[in-house]
Amino acid sequence: MEFTNEPGPLRDAVLRAHAMPWRLGWGGLLAMLGVVVTWMAVVPPTGNAVFAIPDVLLHSTAFAALAVPAGLMAIAAHRRGATWAAVGLLAYGVAIEAVQAWLPYRSAEWADLLSDSVGIAAGLSAVAAVRAWAASPPATRR
């Protein structure tokens, strides 16, 4: 797909992401991702993974994935929506770490919470960048 200076379907879709049907879709995606992330955070580790992915990368990726739909929903709902999305997702990360502290096969770590924060910032930054690009006049977009 080529990005042009002319209005098109991608720009229109990004600008309409705040409409009610889209918000319901983003909410559904956020709920599904939340269930998957919660499940992955509380089940015992298998230890026989084909690919050894660092825990820090898993946390950052999971929270970046959560931040995109949360950011799109929150920005549409409130002027300071990104701040509220970040606070909510960080609270979710703290809750996961608190639960993991009580599980004998998991551990709570500050590094995981820091990784969650990096993922939240990356996801919300991506949302802000795409929305700013879509809202810019066609002549200034490149």
In eight-state DSSP terms, residue 45 is P
* Run means of pLDDT, 10 residues per run, the chain, 142 residues: 53 59 77 94 76 83 95 76 90 96 92 96 91 71 55
Beta-carbon contacts of residue 117 (< 8 Å; ≥ 6 apart) = 63, 90, 93
Model pLDDT, residue 17:
58
Model pLDDT, residue 133:
76
Model pLDDT, residue 80:
77
Model pLDDT, residue 28:
87
pTM of the model: 0.78
What is 56-99 written as a DSSP string? HHHHHHHHHHHHHHHHHHHHHH-TTHHHHHHHHHHHHHHHHHHH
Model pLDDT, residue 27:
83
Model pLDDT, residue 1:
45
